């Protein structure tokens, strides 16, 4: 999730797994991640913001902390690193990296090198000069010093050409400017007989008006000879400012900063006694401050120096700019409270009225309050999205269960048509093979047993039979009591329907040996009857639709079962013809009287001569051949 904070241990574990899979070091992975992270920021729409951080690489790095400070408004739990850059006389840069998060410093070269190449058309190399811990001085756990060397700059030639053109333009402007002044001198400063010299202010006014069109690039500000503002008014207009000398002795402070840090009212108090520098990561002395005068400074009030009544509330943080005043050898810290929300304002018992009306911190707090509300809505949306994903996953599981149940009741293609709201037309199948089976003496077993024993027996038997339907690719039509009915060649026609059903029947007979009679404790006995012929098949019913078979073939198959013998597979003449010369051992039973059919010559199926018991049962190591015959897996 976008605003969720993940522990660094998770990150490091992911990196370590990537190292193990790719066979590379963690430094390489982190550097590649840095390069990708820069691309990701660009793809996420932050490229315009990043380009405005500086006109060169050094300025870019100097303003990274300001960017992190801005992003912290949205990502409040972000623990960003801090950067400080020094430039040597030889043009090389020293980058100081400070972070609470150990082990991630190698991301920095990837980011900086990608930025230099993309934004500033430069190739740079970075190497680590020093790595140590500075927790006591800066509060950060890791301090790494990188040496940055610029290898090439492909814009140098272009810049040289631009500079040459610019020099020519400046020369032309200077010549035009000199000619303009000569004309003005003749016009405004000419002295002749009877003429009156123009007032100086009118001449200056004309020069200024002329300058609007010609002197815009040579602007020089005008400073007053004295400061036209009272000390009291200044301290009220800028309620959060501090002026201190080279020894860090406080000379003056704004009225509101005195209110929240009363110790500043004491004359010549040391600023470092009441505040510590959070950013940049430097020691608190005038030399370090001057060295990083262009950086944004964040100061934090020392809790032990706060009034006793305020020690329970969060400490005051200030953010602002250091300005060196050379004429009086003092430094002015022009700052504002470092606040992000109304909640933080209330925690420090402050009000918006404490912040100067011209200070944009007011607008920042109010705008960020609205943004925080939007972020919370975004978080809620992401949480709901995650909940929806989990619910969708559970729904898919339940849907799968429903489909499995539906496919157990109806053929798959028929069930799919019904799900789509289509009507399934009845179909005629010219030839198929139907099997019926039942348990011998099932009525007697029911009379002598508890109902649960019957249920357990049938459940065990049907589970084994159901597995065999998948092995031999036959369709289970229905079960009624102890009766079990399957068909081959319906609903999907196949030329090997008789062989499939015959193999299934042999498997039923083997499986029945594993199901015990709850009365005798012996394996149960089943009768199996098979007949081949035409049928009419279709879906019957709306509330509980069933796929049913109709026709004389169904009746004849049922008669084969009822006229069969225990543990025998009874075949009709048409089934015998379908299995003849197909590798099955079949013996003739002879002519028998069949109810409703008269005399019929029937047969018993003994075995499949081309398949072992394991193959018949579909145990591992076996496969079903496409033509319905079984073969051992090579």
Same domain, 426 and 440: yes
Average pLDDT over residues 133-153: 70
Same domain for 64 and 87: yes
Q: How far is CA 591 from CA 205, 298, 441, 599, 603, in A?
A: 135, 108, 25, 6, 9
Rounded to an integer, the average pLDDT of 219-243 is 90
Q: Are residues 202 and 312 in the same domain?
A: no
Confidence band (pLDDT; 50, 70, 90) for 554? very high
Tell me the CATH number at 551: 3.30.70.1230
Count of CB atoms within 10 A of residue 107's CB?
Answer: 23
**Element housing 323 (H / E):** strand 317-325
Question: Is 447 within the bounds of a domain?
Answer: yes
Is 311 contained in some domain? yes
**Among 571, 584, 427, 432, residue whose Cα is nearest residue 496:** 432
At 240-267, the pLDDT tens digits run 999 999 999 999 999 999 988 888 888 7
3, part of any domain: no
Share of the chain above pLDDT 70, in %: 84
The DSSP secondary-structure symbol of 1 reads: -
CATH code for the domain in which residue 235 is found: 3.30.450.260
Q: How far apart are CA 149 and CA 99, in angstroms?
A: 23
Say yes or no: 516 and 607 in one domain.
yes
- Which residues are bridge partners to 604 per DSSP? 570, 587
The neighbouring-strand residues paired with 128 are: 146
Same-domain check for residues 209 and 303: no
State pLDDT tens for residues 555-585.
Answer: 999 999 999 999 999 999 999 999 999 999 9
Query: Which of 139, 154, 169 corresponds to the end of one domain?
Result: 154
Domain count, the chain: 5
Say if 224 falls within a structural domain.
no
Distance CA 571, CA 594 (A): 13
Domain that holds residue 462: 422-632
273 & 376 share domain: no
Q: Judge if 393 and 282 occupy the same domain.
A: no
> What is the distance of C-alpha 601 from the center of its chain?
72
- Are 105 and 144 in contact by the 8 Å Cβ rule? The answer is yes
Domain membership of residue 490 (yes or no) is yes
Give the C-alpha separation, 385 to 391, whole Å: 10
Shared domain for 473 and 607, answered yes or no, is yes
Whether residue 432 is found in the same domain as residue 405: no
Q: How far is CA 634 from CA 192, 297, 626, in A?
A: 124, 77, 16
Distance, in Å, from the CA atom of 536 to the CA atom of 548, rounded to the nearest integer, reads 8
Closest C-alpha among 153, 628, 255 to residue 433? 628
Q: Is residue 414 assigned to a domain? A: no
Within a domain: 560 = yes
Of 128, 154, 180, which marks where a domain is finished?
154
Say if residue 513 is in the same domain as residue 571.
yes
**Pair 477, 548: CB distance under 8 Å:** yes
pLDDT in tens, 577-625: 999 999 999 999 999 999 988 999 999 999 999 999 999 999 876 444 5
pLDDT at 174: 55
- Return d(Cα 324, Cα 505) in angstroms, integer: 101
State whether 441 and 558 are in the same domain.
Answer: yes
Give SS3 for 207: helix
3-class DSSP state of 13: helix
Residue 26 inside a domain? The answer is yes
pLDDT band at 497 (very low <50, low <70, confident <90, very high): very high
Do 136 and 266 fall into the same domain? no
- Of 351, 379, 397, at which residue does a domain stop? 351
Query: Among 210-214, 517-521, 590-594, where is mean pLDDT lowest?
Result: 210-214
């Amino acid at each position: 999730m976008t605003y969720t904070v993940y522990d660094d241990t998770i990150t490091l574990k992911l990196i370590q797994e990537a190292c193990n899979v790719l066979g590379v070091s963690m430094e390489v992975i982190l550097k590649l991640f840095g390069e990708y992270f820069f691309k990701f920021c660009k793809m996420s729409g932050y490229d315009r913001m990043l380009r405005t951080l500086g006109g060169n690489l050094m300025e870019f790095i100097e303003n990274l902390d300001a960017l992190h400070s801005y992003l912290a408004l949205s990502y409040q739990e972000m623990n960003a690193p801090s950067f400080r850059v020094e430039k040597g006389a030889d043009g090389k840069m020293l980058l100081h990296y400070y972070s609470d998060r150990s082990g991630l410093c190698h991301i920095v070269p990837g980011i900086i090198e990608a930025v230099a190449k993309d934004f500033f058309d430069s190739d740079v190399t970075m190497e680590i000069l020093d790595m140590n811990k500075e927790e006591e001085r800066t509060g950060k756990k890791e301090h790494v010093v990188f040496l940055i060397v610029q290898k090439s700059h492909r814009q140098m030639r272009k810049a040289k050409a631009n500079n040459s053109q610019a020099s020519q333009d400046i020369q032309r402007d200077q010549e035009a400017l000199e000619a303009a002044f000569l004309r003005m001198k003749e016009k405004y400063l000419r002295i002749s007989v009877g003429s009156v010299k123009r007032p100086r202010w009118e001449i200056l006014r004309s020069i200024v008006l002329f300058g609007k069109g010609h002197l815009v690039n040579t602007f020089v500000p005008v400073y007053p000879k004295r400061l036209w503002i009272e000390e009291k008014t200044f301290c009220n207009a800028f309620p959060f400012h501090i002026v201190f000398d080279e020894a860090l002795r406080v000379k003056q402070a704004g009225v509101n900063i005195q209110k929240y840090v009363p110790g500043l009212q004491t004359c010549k108090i040391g600023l470092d006694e009441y505040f510590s520098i959070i950013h940049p990561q430097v020691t608190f002395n005038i030399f370090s401050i001057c060295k990083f005068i262009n950086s944004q400074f964040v100061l934090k009030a020392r809790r032990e120096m706060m009034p006793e009544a305020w020690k329970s509330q969060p400490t005051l943080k200030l953010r602002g700019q250091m300005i060196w005043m050379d004429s009086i050898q003092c430094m002015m810290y022009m700052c504002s409270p470092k606040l992000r929300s109304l909640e933080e304002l209330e925690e420090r018992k402050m009000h918006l009225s404490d912040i100067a009306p011209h200070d944009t911190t007011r607008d920042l707090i109010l705008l960020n309050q609205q943004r925080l509300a939007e972020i919370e809505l975004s978080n809620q949306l992401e949480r709901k999205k995650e909940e929806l994903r989990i619910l969708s996953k559970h729904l898919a599981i339940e849907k799968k269960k429903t489909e499995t149940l539906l496919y157990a009741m109806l053929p798959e293609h028929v069930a799919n048509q019904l799900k789509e709201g289509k009507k399934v037309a009845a179909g005629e199948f010219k030839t198929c093979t139907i099997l019926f089976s039942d348990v011998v003496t099932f009525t007697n077993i029911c009379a002598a047993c508890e109902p649960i024993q019957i249920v357990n027996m049938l459940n065990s038997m049907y589970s084994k039979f159901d597995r065999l339907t998948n092995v031999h690719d036959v369709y289970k039509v229905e079960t009624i009591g102890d009766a079990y009915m399957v068909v081959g060649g319906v609903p999907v026609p196949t030329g090997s329907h008789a062989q499939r059903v015959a193999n299934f029947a042999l498997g039923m007979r083997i499986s029945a040996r594993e199901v015990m009679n709850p009365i005798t404790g012996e394996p149960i006995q089943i009768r199996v009857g098979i007949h081949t012929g035409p049928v009419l098949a279709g879906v019957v019913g709306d509330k509980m639709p069933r796929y049913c078979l109709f026709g004389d073939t169904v009746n004849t198959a049922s008669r084969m079962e009822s006229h069969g013998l225990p543990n025998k597979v009874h075949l009709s003449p048409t089934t015998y013809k379908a299995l003849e010369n197909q590798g099955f051992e079949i013996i003739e039973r002879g002519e028998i009287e069949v109810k409703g059919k008269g005399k019929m010559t029937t047969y018993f199926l003994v075995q499949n001569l081309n398949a072992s018991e394991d193959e018949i049962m579909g145990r591992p190591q076996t496969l079903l051949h496409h033509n319905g015959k079984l073969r051992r897996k090579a």
